Amino acid sequence: MKTKMLMVGLLLAGLTVVGDCKTTKLLTSWKNPNYAGQRFHKILVIGMSNNPATRSDFEDALSLKIARNGIEAIPGNSILLRQETGKIDLDYLKAQIRENQIDAVVVSRLVKVDRNVTYIPGQSYVIPYGYYRSFYGYYGAVYQQVYSPDYLREDTTVRIETNLYAATPPDGELIWTGTSDTFNPKSAHKVIDALIKLVVKELEKEAIL
């Protein structure tokens, strides 16, 4: 079984983002029209990252969300020995999928991180003063102006693609794919949490889980 397509990477490590995880939106999704509703019993969750801790957190968390009666979800870190650098051993991956009788694979990857900086000009607010037309009234009103300084606002958008493949020979068949945007996440873990909720919701909606 050829599984090169299964090695799409998830590069969640190294996200240096600020703000609260306000919203995650599904931009696009596609379900294979040839999918006949077959149930998967063993699903491998793969996330490739140069940060082993972040990768493991993603795989463990998504596996917990996917697992249910009749479905065993296996985090990649529990059966795959992956080098941090160098060429991936696809023969080893194929053997692990075969030996563990895995019939589906979920893979997520970071598409891009956009950072937009917006200049917000300062403003002044005049506190009303009853004698504005007199010199002292004018001076007192102007003196009591309140200024808000200008500043730069950084907005961050993290785009992630998630695919689910049936691990069928010869190459594995794409069953579902979706692309999401997460706006202003506080950390990589905020991205993971929001992504997992969205992906599982969509897979349930499409009756794949």
Instruction: Give the CATH number of the domain where residue 47 resides.
Output: 3.40.50
* Model pLDDT, residue 155: 85
Residue 53 maps to a domain: yes
107-150, pLDDT tens digit by residue? 998 888 888 888 878 776 655 555 556 666 666 666 566 667 77
Q: Classify 90 as helix, strand or coil.
A: helix
Question: Residue 10: what pLDDT?
Answer: 33
Tell me how far apart the alpha carbons of residues 126 and 188 are, in angstroms, rounded to a whole number.
Answer: 43
User: Is 138 a domain residue?
Assistant: no
> Is 100 part of any domain?
yes
- Residue 181 falls within a domain, yes or no? yes
Question: Residue 21's pLDDT band (boundaries 50, 70, 90)?
Answer: very low
Which range among 13-22, 50-59, 156-165, 183-192 shows the weakest confidence by mean pLDDT? 13-22
pLDDT of residue 172: 84
**CB count in 10 Å sphere of residue 19:** 14
Range(s) of the domain holding residue 167? 4-113+156-205
Which of 192, 206, 200 has the alpha carbon at shortest distance from 68?
200
Quick check: 22 and 193 in contact, CB under 8 A? no
Q: In the chain, how many domains are there?
A: 1
